[in-house]
Chain A
Amino acid sequence: MDEHPSDLLSAYADGALPQGQAAEVAAHLVECDRCRTVVDDLQEVQTMLHSIPRPSPDPSLLPRTLARLEGRNRRSRFVMRWRIAAAVAMGGAVLALLWPVTPVPSAEHGTGTWYFRQHAEMALIHPVEDVSLASYLSTPLPYRAVEESLEWR
C-alpha cells in the first residue's frame, strides 16, 4: 500500500473492514508510524467518548409525554371527525349546488296571457285579419288581459 489509507483507519479500528482490506491496512500500519499514531489517537478518542455518561431520562418524562400524546391523539381524532364532517358537508353543498330545481309556473312569470296577447296583436296586423281575429276572440283573453294589465302599473 503506497498511500496512507487514512479514510479506512476508523473502520479498521472498529473491525468493520472486509477481510482483505483489513489485512492490507494492518500491513500498512506495521510500516507506517504516522498511521499507527492516528489509530492510537482514534482509539483514545473512543475511550474518552465512552467516558460520557449514559444518562437516564427523568422518570417523570415518559408519563408526561404519554399524557401529552394521549391528549393529542384524542384531539387529532376529534379533528379528523371534524374533517370528515366537513368533507361530507362540502360534498353535500356541491351536490346541493348541482341539484336540479324545476322552475314553477307562476303568474308572476310574465303572465302567460301576455305572450298570447302579444301574439294576437301581431296576428292582427296580418292581412287576413279576421281569421286571426277569430283566434284572438276564441278565448277569454281580453278579459284576463285587462286584469293582468293592472300589474304593469
Chain B
Amino acid sequence: MAVGFCTRAAVVGALACLVAGPGRPASAAPPPPASLLQAMQARKASAFRGEQIVVTWENGGTHVTLGRIEHDPPGWVRLEYAPVGTSTRWIVVRQSGMEIQYDPATRVGTKSPRLVGDDGETVLATHLPWLLENYRVGAAPGLFLGRKVERIVMRPVRADRPARRIDVDQESGVVLRSERMEPGGRLVGMTAFQSFEVMPRGWRAGAGLPRDLRLVERPMARKVTPEEVVRQFGTIPVAIETPGGFHPVAYYLVQHRQPALQVVYSDGLSVLVVTMQRGILPRPPKGSRLVHGAAGPVWVRRFGQNALVHWAYNGWLLTMVGDVVPEQLIRAAELTGVARMPRVYDHIESWLKGLFGPF
C-alpha cells in the first residue's frame, strides 16, 4: 500500500506555501524523497507490531536495548523496553491522549497528558523546510527484513551535526532501521527492527493497563504563543544564539518548581530545547561539569547522544539540550551571553527574593 504517493500532491502544495511564507528558507531545495514525506506523515497512523534493537555507543561503551512494540494509534501504543545487561524493564503506553510510563516490576510510574504533535501537514510546514535547508537528502531503493524500503541518507550541511541514514518501509512508512553517524563518519547509534509485521487498524482495540499501577501525575507542557509568553513573564525572554540551522518552532510553558518557558528549536531532523526560568543563581544539574568560559561559568553534561548546557544570564537560568556536540552548545551559550560567577552577594539577594515573594 502506498499511502505516501496518494498524498504527494497535498505535500507539494504545502511546500509551495512554505516557501512563500514568512520566516522560511527562501531557497528552492530539491524536492524531498517521497518516502521521507511518507515517513514523516503517514507513519503515525500505521498499525504494526515488531521487535526492535537499539544500539548506541557513547563514552567508549555500547548500550543495547531491546524493544517490543505494539502500534495501533490512536487508541493504543505500547512500547516495552529492556536494556541488555540489566534486570530493568520499562513500559510506555500511549492511550487516549495520555502517556503512561511505568516499571513493570515495581508498578510505579508516571502519567501525563501526551504532547500532541501537530497534524501531518503542519509538521511538514514546521520541520521539513529546515530539514531540506540543513541536510542534503538522497534516496535509493533497498531491501530490509525482506521488505521494500527506501534508504534515505541525510548529510548535514554543517560539519558539527550528525548524519542520518534511515530505511523507510514502503508499505507502512515506518522507519525500519536508522543509523546515526557523528562527524567523521563514526557510527554511534542504530535502531533496527528484528521482526516487523503490518497489522490491521484497531488490532489492539480493548487493550488496557494493569489495574494496580501507582502513577504520579506529571505536569505537562502547554503549547503557547509568543504573546502568551510575554504575558506570563512580563518580558521577552533571552534571545538564544542557537547553533546554526536551528530555528524556533514552538513555545511551551511548563511547571518545574517554578514556571518555565521551553523554546523548541528545530533543524529539521532533531530538536533543541531551551528551558528558561527566572533566577540569578545557576542550578547546575547533577552530574554536570563546570566549564569556565571567557564570560562566565557554563555547566555541561552529556546524556546519551544529547548534551546539556546550563548557565545564567540577565536574570534567567538557561538550560539547552540537544543532539549537538557540547562544544557547539557552549559556544551558543557564550554567544548568547553568560553571567559572571555569582558572588556571595548574589546568593544573599537570591535568598532574600526567595523569602519575600515570587520573582
> B88 — which chain A residues lie within 8 A by C-beta?
140, 143
Alpha-carbon distance A153/B306, docked complex (angstroms): 27
A111 touches B262 (CB 8 A): no
> B151 — which chain A residues lie within 8 A by C-beta?
none
**B229 interface residue (CB < 8 Å to A):** no
Interface residues of B in 136-176 (CB under 8 A from A): 164, 166, 174-175
**B186 interface residue (CB < 8 Å to A):** no
Q: Tell me the minimal C-beta distance from B236 to chain A in angstroms.
A: 21
Q: How many A-B Cβ pairs are below 8 Å?
A: 210
Contacting A146 at CB < 8 Å: which of B81, B101, B123?
B101
**A22 interface residue (CB < 8 Å to B):** no
What secondary structure prevails in chain A residues at the interface with B? helix
Could you say which of A56-64, A81-89, A129-137 contacts chain B? Answer: A129-137
A125 touches B116 (CB 8 A): yes
A100 touches B218 (CB 8 A): no
Interface residues of A in 21-72 (CB under 8 A from B): none
Alpha-carbon distance A116/B88, docked complex (angstroms): 20
CB closest residue in chain A, given B323: A135
Could you say which of A1-9, A12-20, A91-99 contacts chain B? Answer: A91-99
Q: Tell me the minimal C-beta distance from B307 to chain A in angstroms.
A: 10
Q: Tell me the minimal C-beta distance from B155 to chain A in angstroms.
A: 14
Q: Tell me the minimal C-beta distance from B120 to chain A in angstroms.
A: 8
A104 touches B284 (CB 8 A): yes
A138 touches B56 (CB 8 A): yes
Q: How many residues of B contact A (CB 8 A)?
A: 87
**A73 interface residue (CB < 8 Å to B):** no
CB closest residue in chain B, given A123: B271
Contacting B301 at CB < 8 Å: which of A112, A135, A138?
A112
Q: Tell me the minimal C-beta distance from B42 to chain A in angstroms.
A: 11
A146 touches B103 (CB 8 A): yes
CB closest residue in chain A, given B37: A127
Interface residues of A in 113-153 (CB under 8 A from B): 113-116, 118-119, 121-135, 137-143, 145-146, 149-150, 152-153
The 3 closest A-B pairs by CB, nearest first: A112-B285, A138-B56, A127-B40
A and B contact pairs by CB, cutoff 8 A, 26 listed: A100-B342, A101-B342, A102-B290, A103-B284, A105-B299, A106-B286, A110-B283, A114-B285, A115-B273, A116-B306, A119-B271, A127-B127, A128-B39, A128-B40, A128-B175, A130-B175, A132-B271, A134-B190, A137-B67, A139-B63, A143-B90, A145-B110, A146-B101, A146-B109, A150-B108, A152-B219
